[in-house]
Homo-oligomer: A and B are copies of this chain.
């Protein structure tokens, strides 16, 4: 019989940057006592996102931020949507290029992430209070 459990995580960001969520998502999985299943993670914001990324060297996330900042720079003169500031449209672009939703397998009661994979919240605005839904199913 299938069992679906949904919880919410609140994240207080200190500004732009990446915030590791792996432990909090793993905790939701353990609470759900799912042996084999799936874990869905979703963020409800359009100037923030989720990603799975290398979790060992913080420089990896810094380099990713540099990459995104060059690809969709603040104040890019191509952008028409500037009413919410020069960093708003770049935030939307970076959010679309990463993702709002992730689904991760659950195996033997744990997230089946690879050794170097972490789940990260990407804040492209902030500081802000942000919401993430975690839904587990088996």
Contact = CB atoms under 8 A, between A and B. Distances in A.
Contact of A42 (B4, B36, B104): B104
A51 interface: yes
Interface in A87-103: 89, 92-93, 95-103
A92 B64 contact: yes
- How many copies of this kind of chain does the complex include? 3
13 contacts: A4-B36, A4-B38, A36-B135, A38-B135, A38-B137, A45-B117, A53-B92, A53-B96, A57-B81, A60-B92, A63-B92, A101-B102, A137-B137
- List the 6 closest pairs (A to B, CB-CB), nearest first: A44-B114, A2-B2, A59-B81, A46-B54, A105-B133, A63-B79
